[in-house]
Chains A and B, each alone.
Chain A
Amino acid sequence: MAGREAARKEAAFLRGETGLDGEAAEQAKDKAEVERDKAREQYLRGKAWLGRELLTWLLYRSEAAEPLAKVDKLPLSVILADRLVLRGIAGDVIETSLRGATAPYSPLVRQALDRGLLVHQARLQLTHGERNYQVTLDAEHFDLKSARLPLAAKGEKDDQLAERLHLAEQLATLVRALIETFLKLRASSRWAAEEVPAMKKWMRAA
């Protein structure tokens, strides 16, 4: 039995699973490095960086409280509220979350953004014409989470269902309009020449 145990240990060492002292090799690896590797993987997976830049840009642009796009000839405005998750790939902090009705616009957030963190998840309030929607978006999948839709008119159950489906689709259309607006700017020369320097200036003004 002792021989078999020794052979097992040697095989684990040869596979790189344990070090010379028999301890798991993973433990010997710098914990901060492991975290950063994971953060980089999350940043690259499904081009999540694009979603993070979009949400960060939304935060920057929404502070001016001006419409960001027009959908069906009606202005679409966005503000961020309540909860915000920031993630980064370098430095000491790779994730932080903030709560508070005006937390997204706090100097703390702008300072964190200036240090290289980006918005990974945000709660958005969208105003389209006279309708208000709330939704939480994450940078990787852009799933629409915990969305509050405008109240459906009271009536037959089937009518309410149809209106609710319509409102959910409308919300998805608004989110898509924001994505398109961002991507057109992101792919243009204005992004690097004007928008990014303006965003950095806004971050540093905190």
Chain B
Amino acid sequence: MTALTGRASALIVRGPMGILKGTATFSRYRIEPDAKGSKEGKKDLAKALRLRAFQPLEPGGEDERAQGFVELENRDLSDFSPGALYEGAFALFAYRIDEVRIPSDAIRQRLDAWSTRFEDENQRPASKKEKSDAKQEIRFTLKSQYPLSTKVFEVSLNTEDGHAQIWAGSRKAVDEVQAAVEQALSVKLVPVAPAAVAVELGISDKALSPTAALSLPEEVTNGRS
């Protein structure tokens, strides 16, 4: 078993929600094999997820963010055994993001104080490089003072009908998880939205240009505005 022991101090944990309970918020995609024609089999899917499994931030390390795949029901594991990964026709897993968020105000305050001290001691303003080095050091010092935030976003893949669902409300998170799934499984996720469905149905772009009578008031279409 691959246990992922995150930093123990002051953990803020968000999610998972949606697949298991509560109201459901998800983005739906059709799965298309990428140019290499890869199609993950059951064994390959687990292997692909393990290759990009979540690795926790190292205590005292320089990184402020870690992300990767974890099991749906245990965000500290990334074995993806068939029992943990599959529910009937569905493959279920999650994408975990751990991040230390240091407020920019806190960094600026410390950096201003450092700059003043530097000028007093050296009778000259700090150079760009000196300031940048000081900023890095301040970030590193502050890192341990701010809590680690953990977010987990669920993913369900229907292996029979070739659709995927990313269970996240924030567009930024959806885009990140989409890119991670595409990269891990060598597939393309095509959103199930009107423009993409039109392409799938073979409807030409020309037939779908905006309807002026609906989107522009009459005085604009008549050139009176």
Residues of A within 8 A of B (CB): 43, 46-47, 49-54, 56, 88-91, 113-116, 118, 140-149, 158, 161-162, 164-165, 168-169, 171-172, 175-176, 179-180, 182-184, 186-187, 191-192, 196, 199-200
Q: A168-B19, A183-B198 are in contact. List 14 more A-B contacts (CB 8 A).
A: A56-B214, A91-B217, A113-B214, A116-B217, A118-B214, A141-B27, A147-B23, A148-B23, A169-B165, A171-B24, A182-B194, A183-B203, A184-B201, A187-B207
Q: Which residues 181-225 of B sit at the A interface, judged by CB distance below 8 A? A: 191-195, 197-198, 201, 203-204, 207-208, 210-211, 213-217, 220, 225
Bound form: Cα–Cα A194–B202 in Å: 23
Per CB-CB distance, the 9 closest pairs between chain A and chain B, nearest first, are A116-B217, A47-B195, A142-B193, A147-B24, A187-B207, A50-B194, A49-B210, A187-B203, A143-B27
Query: How many Å from the CB of B212 to the closest CB on chain A?
Result: 10
Q: Is the interface of B mostly helix, strand, loop or mixed?
A: mixed
Scan B164-176; emit 1 where CB is below 8 A from any A CB, else 0.
Answer: 0100010100100
Bound form: Cα–Cα A161–B20 in Å: 6
Query: How many Å from the CB of B99 to the closest CB on chain A?
Result: 23
Interfacial chain A residues near B165, Cβ < 8 Å: 168-169, 172
CB pairs A–B below 8 angstroms (27 shown) = A46-B195, A49-B211, A50-B195, A50-B208, A51-B194, A51-B195, A53-B215, A91-B225, A116-B214, A118-B214, A141-B27, A142-B192, A142-B193, A143-B174, A144-B27, A147-B25, A148-B23, A148-B24, A149-B24, A158-B87, A164-B19, A165-B88, A180-B201, A182-B194, A187-B204, A187-B207, A192-B211
Contact A49 B215 (CB under 8 A): yes
Interfacial chain A residues near B215, Cβ < 8 Å: 43, 49, 52-53, 88-89, 116, 118
Contact A89 B216 (CB under 8 A): yes
Interfacial chain B residues near A43, Cβ < 8 Å: 210, 215
Contact A168 B24 (CB under 8 A): yes
Picked from B192, B208, B216, B225, the residue with its CB within 8 Å of the CB of A187 is B208
Interfacial chain B residues near A143, Cβ < 8 Å: 25-28, 171, 174
Picked from A140, A179, A196, the residue with its CB within 8 Å of the CB of B197 is A179
Contact A183 B220 (CB under 8 A): no
A183-B197, A187-B203, A196-B211 known; A90+B217 contact, CB < 8 A: yes
Interface membership of B158, Cβ < 8 A: yes
Interfacial chain A residues near B192, Cβ < 8 Å: 142, 172, 175-176, 179
Q: Which residue of A lies closest to B21 (CB)?
A: A164
A47-B208, A183-B201 known; A90+B216 contact, CB < 8 A: yes
Picked from A51, A115, A144, A158, the residue with its CB within 8 Å of the CB of B217 is A115
Contact A142 B88 (CB under 8 A): no
Interfacial chain A residues near B207, Cβ < 8 Å: 186-187
Picked from B23, B161, B193, the residue with its CB within 8 Å of the CB of A146 is B23
Among B19, B24, B171, B192, max chain A CB count under 10 A is at: B24
